[in-house]
Amino acid sequence: PASVRLLHQTCTQHLLSTLKMVMLRVSLTVLAVVLIVGVDANPLIRVSPFSGPPIPRVDRCLLACDVCYKEESLLQCANECIKDRGRMNLEWSVTCPFFDTSRN
């Protein structure tokens, strides 16, 4: 029993450290993607000198929802856009590269 308990404790510690490393790698990957796919690479946010006045934030958000999602997800995304006045949280931003993650 003592050796089993020690083995269980060792395995648990190893699993937790592995899980922490995986979470750290995922976080760093998400951060890298957000930094790489910034405003300059985003066609819905980038202001073109030929495009006229900028599109309001809620409208940009709704356009991004339409590009990235379909059916029930599209409806949920659009409701979030309207509710939060075009400011989408990180969960939506991770699955759709067209959101402005600066939350200005």
Q: Which tens digit of pLDDT belongs to each residue from 16-43?
A: 888 888 888 888 887 777 666 665 555 5
pLDDT at site 103: 46
pLDDT at site 5: 80
CA angle 74, 78, 81 (to 5 degrees): 140
Asked whether the beta carbons of 88 and 81 are under 8 A apart, the reply is yes
pLDDT at site 104: 43
Q: Determine the average pLDDT of the residues in 71-95.
A: 83
Asked whether the beta carbons of 100 and 60 are under 8 A apart, the reply is yes
Q: Which tens digit of pLDDT belongs to each residue from 42-69?
A: 555 566 666 667 778 888 888 888 888 8
> Does 12 score more than 80 pLDDT?
yes
Which alpha helices (DSSP H) does the chain contain, by range? 2-36, 57-68, 71-83, 90-95
Token couple for 12: 């648990």
CA end-to-end span of the chain, whole Å? 57
> Does 94 score more than 70 pLDDT?
yes
Closest CA to 42 of 62, 69, 66, 60: 60
pLDDT at site 101: 52
CB count in 10 Å sphere of residue 98: 19
